[in-house]
A and B are shown apart, each in its own frame.
Chain A
Amino acid sequence: MLKFISLLLFIIAYQFSYSQNYTISGYVEDVNTGERIIGAYVVDNISKQTAQTNNFGFYNLKNIKSKSAIQATFEGLTSKPIYLTLVKDTLINIKIQSVRELNEVVITSSLYNRDVNAPLGITIIPIKQLTSMPALGEPDLLKSIQNQPGIKGGVEGSAGIFVRGGGAGENLFMLDDVPLYNVSHFFGFFSTFNSSTVKDLKLLKGCFPAQYGGRTSSVIDVRSQDGNNQSLKGELSVGFVSTSIMLNGPLLSDKTTFMVSFRRSYFDTYSDVLKKFDLIGNNFPAYYFYDFNARITHTFSPKDRIFLSFYSGKDNIRGKNDANIIGETGLFNDNQNQTSGWSNFIGSLRWNHTFGNNIFANTTLAVSRYDYFTQEKYHSTNQDSVKGTIEKGYSANYNSSIYDIIVKTDFDYSVSNNHRLLFGGGNTFHTFNPGKNIYSMKDSELNEKTDTSFTNGLLHASEAYAYVEDEFKATQKLTVNTGLRISGLISESKMSINPEPRISVNYAMLPNLAFKTGYSRMVQYMHLLSSSGLTMPTDIWVPALKGLEPLKSDQINAGFSYNWNQKLLFSFEAYQKWLTNTTDYQNGASLLTDFSPWYEKTTQGHGSSRGIEISIEKQVGKLTGSINYTLSKADRKYADLNNGQAFPFRYDRLHDFNISANYQLSKKWDVSALWVYGTGYPVTVYVEQYLTLMRSSGQIFYYPSLNNCRLPDYHRLDLGFHYKKPTRRGEEILSFDIYNAYNRLNPINVYYDPGNLRFVYYYLLPVIPSVTYTLKF
């Protein structure tokens, strides 16, 4: 009894003492725009308690005494301290100046040290870096990611990314919490992300927190701007490839903001002009792409906020062939049109709500749709002097699509300043249209009319998940993030449920030295079937149904970070990744080879990759930049490909090195340079020959194994010169960029030319200068 009373007294005393502490929560906002800042640190200078803002700029600081002085820091900028005398838990929004508006500011903060403790495998790409580095035509978000260690770009100039030996379809691209299926324009040379709208960019390639899932190799988490709540702002950018305009500002009051942007390319305008001067034929295809982003954010109360977001993007290519022929019996008109394209649409409604002062919740209801289509129309009219008008024609349409309805909720609960719990769940209702053909034909002379359609049938499946993630700072030096995600795919024919354990450990041996390690399993229920090395729209997404098993990855990582004298950040990371149920077309098969459905043309195998990544970053001072090196190896093995033998992955690269630098010459001028070097990619090259059974076809060339040769080493230098001039309402920037400055001809493939008995290298992009004008107002 005495023990029980003692325990009761202890609990009451604990509760009493605990109640003397308060919780401060709220948002960190940009002082000029009201934009909520992701990843900012909030510090109480009295109790020395710290917290970090989440993906919505929310922080929660516990165990604060009645007297406190809180301050926020972000990328080296520090807000003025706010001195508080607390009598209860309080909501405080902290204003801070963000870097985006202060490009000319030289960062000298001592709080740069925080990167040492950044979780392993997670990189936050500074948005400033997008415009400060040389670009091909225009700044591109995905191309900036390609320079990160462990990331390979695909074909020269492409915006495709291949992460730690993973395929193109193993990357989850999230725009404001909603997945995008095809993030490429113009065969992958430009990404769908309009960089002027982006607020935050996070790349995850290992030690995945449990809140992320659905793809096995990486997550690219893109957050767009909410919109300025103070005044109307905008950005106009006119470049070599496209023109974009972005406007944002308050809508009626500072509680409601909007952001809208539009970007369109003008390749079709170029081709129209060239056709006008007969420099190209009239049947040359006309191509364009566009992106449209719109967002409305409304703050109902300090605890409630909603976001309504839309994205629509499309690529369209059109070919036309017209002929007018005067025949013996009359006039003959022939018109043929071919149009192909692909488009993405996402719409989302998100609701942020804070329960009490401790639990932050984000609920998302979204739709995401991806369409690919190709259509051909033919129409001919024969004004026959004897038979009268004879009309013939046909039209052929093909389309495939994925339509997702997404419902999910994520909770962020701060148990204490050292202990954070994230949990949630969601479901995606997938509807797949793997391919539908509609054909119609008419012939007035034969009095025939036909309408026919072929379809693979819609597939429906639910992809559900639930997760819990525990971020616990056990001691001042040791932080452990453990998590478990349970995911599954449920359809009429199949139910597959998989646990995905995750763990990440950080040990800060010294204030400027941290050792890290971790393990994560990721499961992916969709496969991208690619017919080529490029990111082509004909690459189709198929579900892990009809005999295909879900793709799984297991990855272990270890590394350390060291901050030298607050100036340089050294990072080292080693990884080993195993992939199970990688999916590819069988030898000789592709989307269009025969009538077989996709699941009869595919094969599953496994892959592995391993490597070390070294990075040195300097983000303070007039000279900023980074040096990145990756030593890696990746391969694949399928029972029925390459005679069952393992072969190098298509984007396996032993050495990958890049060095980038930006130097602030003056307040108006800065120069930047990027040099990249990499071992040549493996390619499959025919090396020997034998006669074919079909005798007029001559010899058949063959290769002894897949990816049996390597292209020459890749290297390239890009240069950028940026002139910035303040204007009354903002800033104007003139960028001169030179892609591939010394005109290195980097082959993308090699073929044998039997006529000349020589091998022929194909290369793509020579030196390309470009000029971009940007006006910020």
Chain B
Amino acid sequence: MYKKALLLKQMKSLVLFTFSLVLFTACKQDKIVIPNTGQKLSINGLITTDSFFDVRIGETSLLSDSSYQSMTNAKVSIYQNNKYIDSLSSFPNDPHNGGTFVLGNYRSNNIFPVAGNEYKIVVNAEGLPVASASTKIPNEVKIHLVDTSRIVYPSIIPNENMTNVSMICNIEFTDPANETNYYMFMLDRYPKYGDIYFRSQDPIIEETLTGDNYGVGIVFSDKMINGKKHNLVIELGCGYFGYPFVDDRKWIYHPPATLEGPFYIKKTFYFKLYSITEDFFRYIQTLTLYNKNYGNPLTDPVMVNSNVNGGYGIFTGAAVSTDSLVYDYGKK
């Protein structure tokens, strides 16, 4: 059950290998001449069946340009099953980030992505080549049930910021047979503050997402579970992996200002199983490797997967199945 852990351990060994070599490396700064290949549009969007249709449009820039070139005057057309349905308007409030201001965000309040439909985006902006991309939203794979159990580890770690309690969550779903499916599993919560971390040693996991605004998640394909019912096991809490499950009253984490008085936390956890596209799966794979390799002089740079014609980025869709759990802890 620990294949992913094994891969991680192999990576650690690799790091160990290269570490001693890197010790002998040094660096110096220098100017090199970089040819300007011309700016292009970037499109980034994960359209989901549980949200508005919004994407982020931008312009590529040279590395030497420290500021991001936002794009607020682009013409963004959306096609559903090859039929024009709407245009997106600049909407700089990011729904995935608590409505915070995000440059280049475009949204339609009229389109609700539907599983099985194909969507195409065409972006025109003055002085830049036209960029387009299309995606077909996979069918939803439903979470049958979420089961939980609580475990207490020995209090052995002398760190008052950490806890010794964690919760095991079993998320059950059935992978459709005779087709290749890709999944992303994420946890969300309300009230929403900070990231929620969890860990899993489920052997089906192929990539782990850390710290993005969709929540921390795991990504896998159905290579090992094709056509089978699967029980995805994740562990919440326990020290660095999460805050909410605390059995130690010395814990110094400060709850939100709205929750005062005696220690009290009430939260709703949302278990979200995204059925994602192969393009998105490759995007996450290459992005993970990109981050891992960056700055290591002994590895080759990675080109993150893009499905945008005439530009860069990823435009993809996902069907989402959600289950929730209310956690009520402490004195009321």
Contacts and interface: CB of A to CB of B under 8 A. Distances in A.
Contacts of A756: 29
B298 interface: yes
Contacts of B303: 587-588, 702-703
Contact of A328 (B17, B158, B294): B158
Interface in B137-195: 151, 154-158
B301 A687 contact: no
A468 B64 CA distance: 61
Interface string A692-728: 1111110111111000010000000000000000000
Contacts of B10: 374, 398, 592
Contacts of B31: 758-759
Interface stretch (A61-69, A289-297, A732-740, A742-750): A742-750
A134 B156 CA distance: 57
Contact of A692 (B12, B37, B44, B157): B44
Interface string B57-73: 01111111110100000
B2 interface: yes
Contacts of A696: 211-213
A340 interface: yes
A588 B286 contact: yes
Interface string B262-292: 0000000000000000000011011111110
A441 interface: yes
Contact of B295 (A538, A684, A751): A751
A393 interface: no
A465 B214 CA distance: 58
Contacts, number: 239
Contacts of A758: 29-31
Given A376-B12, A534-B298, A327 B27 contact: no
Contacts of A329: 154-156
Interface residues of B, number: 90
A765 B24 contact: yes
Interface in B7-35: 7, 9-14, 16-21, 24-32, 34-35
A319 to B, nearest CB: 5
A695 B60 contact: no
Given A693-B314, A751-B297, A687 B212 contact: no
B45 interface: yes
A416 interface: no
Nearest to A597: B223
A392 to B, nearest CB: 9
B302 interface: yes
A325 interface: yes
A686 B13 contact: no
A690 B42 contact: yes
Interface of B: 1-3, 5-7, 9-14, 16-21, 24-32, 34-35, 37, 39, 42, 44-46, 56, 58-66, 68, 94, 96-97, 102, 104, 151, 154-158, 206-207, 209, 211-214, 221, 223-224, 282-283, 285-291, 294-295, 297-305, 312-314
15 contacts: A285-B19, A287-B20, A327-B155, A338-B13, A532-B300, A588-B286, A588-B303, A689-B62, A691-B56, A692-B44, A694-B209, A696-B213, A702-B60, A703-B303, A758-B29
Interface of A: 155, 187, 267, 284-285, 287, 317, 319, 325, 327-330, 332, 338, 340, 374, 376, 382, 384, 387, 390, 394, 396, 398, 437, 439, 441, 445-446, 450, 452, 454, 531-534, 536-538, 587-590, 592-596, 684-697, 699-704, 709, 745, 748-754, 756-766
